[in-house]
Amino acid sequence: MPSNAWYRFRYTLWAPHYDRVAKFHRERRHSLGLLRLQAGERLVIIGCGTGADLPFVPQGVEVLAVDLTPAMLRQAMAHARPGIEFRQMDGMALELPDGSFDAAVLHMVLEVIPDPVRCLREAARVLRPGGRLAIFDKFLPDHARPGLLRQAGLALLDFVFTSTNRRMGEILARSAAPFAVEDDEPATGSYRHLILRRV
């Protein structure tokens, strides 16, 4: 498994170009809309990247945007406004109290983070009971079993940027996180929108 240092290096290189290839404005807006955020709620965006989600967060929502890569956070700060805080943090080991947020966002994170199971557990930990998690990401169908040649190709592509080589059902089952799936709908290509509720 690649180290955090490799991921930080890779996304430092990608930071100046990331928004050209990973905008997904319509999908981000839709995903955040599914959260039904209310003024006064606390939201954590895990792996905020260049801050592309921030324009779609309603006014009055208190936001903590975290990312592993300082170069990404510097770009995200272009979206700064009152009520938004930025912090460098590992999505697999969030330095945050249990049950401290009403909602969380994982957009295009589970596909790339070294250990998506740990990341999902951390998201569950920092959400209060009844809290919601929005996921927008690309996954293999849960029943799909790509051949060895395709697996090798996907692994090589993932080393450079990102590929579709993970299954959401498997990540959720392995995490044993206390989530109920409230919404699961297709998006662009192999991407999906999910809303999970912390039980």
Summarised one tens digit per residue, pLDDT across range 175-190 is 999 999 999 999 988 8
- What is the model's pLDDT at position 189? 86
Beta strand pairing status for 62-67 and 127-138?
unpaired
Beta strand pairing status for 179-186 and 42-46?
unpaired
- What is the model's pLDDT at position 13? 64
- What is the model's pLDDT at position 122? 98
pLDDT class of 10 with cuts at 50, 70, 90: low
Cβ atoms of 187 and 164 within 8 Å: the answer is no
CA angle 51, 110, 122 (to 5 degrees): 90
Residue found by looking up tokens 């951390």 in the block: 122
DSSP conformation class of 58? P
| Domain of residue 12, residue span | 4-198
Check which CATH number belongs to the domain holding 151 and give it. Answer: 3.40.50.150
Residue 16 burial (CB count, 10 A):
11
pLDDT in tens, 19-48: 666 679 999 999 999 999 999 999 999 999
Q: What is the pTM of this model?
A: 0.85
Q: At what angle do helices 168-175 and 116-126 cross, to 10 degrees?
A: 60
CA separation, residue 119 to residues 79, 151, 172 (Å): 25, 23, 11
Q: In this structure, what token pair is assigned to residue 81? A: 């406004």
Total domains present in the chain: 1
pLDDT in tens, 50-97: 999 999 999 999 999 999 999 999 999 999 999 999 999 999 999 999
pLDDT in tens, 95-146: 999 999 999 999 999 998 999 999 999 999 999 999 999 999 999 888 766 5
Q: What is the rounded CA–CA span in Å between residue 67 and residue 80?
A: 15
pLDDT in tens, 152-178: 555 555 555 555 688 999 999 999 999
Give the ranges where the chain is alpha helix by DSSP (H): 4-14, 18-21, 25-35, 70-76, 116-126, 148-160, 168-175
Q: What is the rounded CA–CA span in Å between residue 152 and residue 149?
A: 5
